[in-house]
Amino acid sequence: MSRDAGPVAVPTYPRVPVPLSARAVLTVDLHALRANWARLNQASGRAECAGVLKADAYGLGLAPIAKALTSEGCKTFFVASVDEGRAAREVQPGATIYVLDGLLPGAEPHYAGFDLRPVLASLPEVRDWAAYCRARGRRMAAAIHIDTGLNRLGMPESELEELAASPELLSAFETTLVMSHLACADHAEDPMNERQRLRFEALRAKLPPAPASLANSGGLFLGQPYHFDLVRPGIALYGGRAHENKPNPMQTVVRLAAKILQVREVSPGQSIGYGATYKVAKPSRIATIAVGYADGFLRALSVATGEAGPVGYIGDYPVPIVGRVSMDFITADVTEVPPELARRGAWVEVMGHRVTVDDLTDRAGTIGYELLSRLGQRVYRVYEGTGV
């Protein structure tokens, strides 16, 4: 289990009052978020440290996250879509905002109207942006995205060479960033990281000089050769692990707790939940808890008989999750918890310092990005550390 350094006081209930109707509460620690950005900023050396806000800031809320990062000194943000860019612009009028989707056909006025910078990933996008800039009589800003091996978005070498030979296109707009994206940055020892870095060096040299960016969260921790002029951390900001099979130095940002709806006595041999996949071996007390896969608690975290599954907490008491995760509920064995604590209306912490997002996703066979971005909107959100 990955943990932050040093002792941490971990409540299993919200620190601030929440509506009585709240069935599950997501607590976002903005103080920890700012501390994570500061740490990443220091690790990036001379490179600027940006912040990635796509997917509603990885499910945590774009507006409060953007404001917190700005208060710490972050000036550049990356979003996926134009709509996300508009939302970021509304809360951060002075920020530099790049749209990773690139330039959607015919949508040029939306980028220009909200001062958004498209990340141009193909020659047709470059031509469209250049034509729009000429028609407006303005050299507006954009990034150029080079593919160095991910084979997803990004300009292939053949198109890049054609662009390099077309000064009339490059002169029509301002190239404020040349970037690429690492395929295996979460595996520090993967030789593809260095192959992509060298290829990025070679390909960007074909273009006129401009600031460069290659590193995401994992790339930032690969060291100075990967930093260039700007780094783009995402998951590490939010407390997730940047490198597989290595300690996580980031502070925990997210806690998820949900209410017990009912506690029942279950006899040996009886099953729990859909599919009857979990049977109790001894007289047990089973709590039904108000969080499920509709709230982002992944169905892959279901536990069958004989399996070791996730563990929640009521106070200092661990409570094993048992049975199948359903849309609205999970179930936990609270036999070892005093009945006055494991009662209707009590809070159970299912994600936090003691069971991190990476602990859960390791069990589910996925990654922290997926779990965070799936956190449902019916989960009540609390933001701690809003004061600067």
Q: Which residues are tagged catalytic?
A: 54, 274
Looking at residue 272, its amino acid is: I
Q: Kindly state the helix (H) or strand (E) to which residue 145 belongs, with its residue range.
A: strand 141-145
Distance CA 18, CA 24 (A): 10
Backbone angles phi, psi at 2, to 5 degrees: -80, 140
Q: Which amino acid is at 360?
A: L
Length of the chain: 388
The residue among 52, 100, 101, 58 whose CA lies nearest residue 77 is 52
Residue position matching structure tokens 């707009």: 173
Do the beta carbons of residue 375 and residue 19 sit within 8 Å?
no
Residue type, 289: I
| Angle (deg, nearest 10), helices 157-164 and 123-136 | 30
Distance CA 305, CA 317 (A): 21
Q: Terminus-to-terminus CA distance in the chain, angstroms?
A: 31
Question: Residue 48: which of 75, 72, 69 has the closest Cα?
Answer: 75
What Å distances lie between residue 88 and 53, 151, 253, 330, 381, CA to CA? Answer: 8, 28, 20, 35, 19
Q: Which amino acid is at 232?
A: R
| Burial of residue 344 (number of CB atoms within 10 Å: 0-12, 13-18, 19+) | exposed
* Positive or negative: CA dihedral 185, 189, 194, 196: negative
Angle (nearest 5°) at CA 355 between 351 and 358: 90
> 387: burial class by Cβ within 10 Å (0-12, 13-18, 19+)?
exposed
Whole-number Å distance between alpha carbons of 153 and 120:
9
The candidate with the shortest Cα–Cα distance to 226, out of 235, 214, 243, is: 214
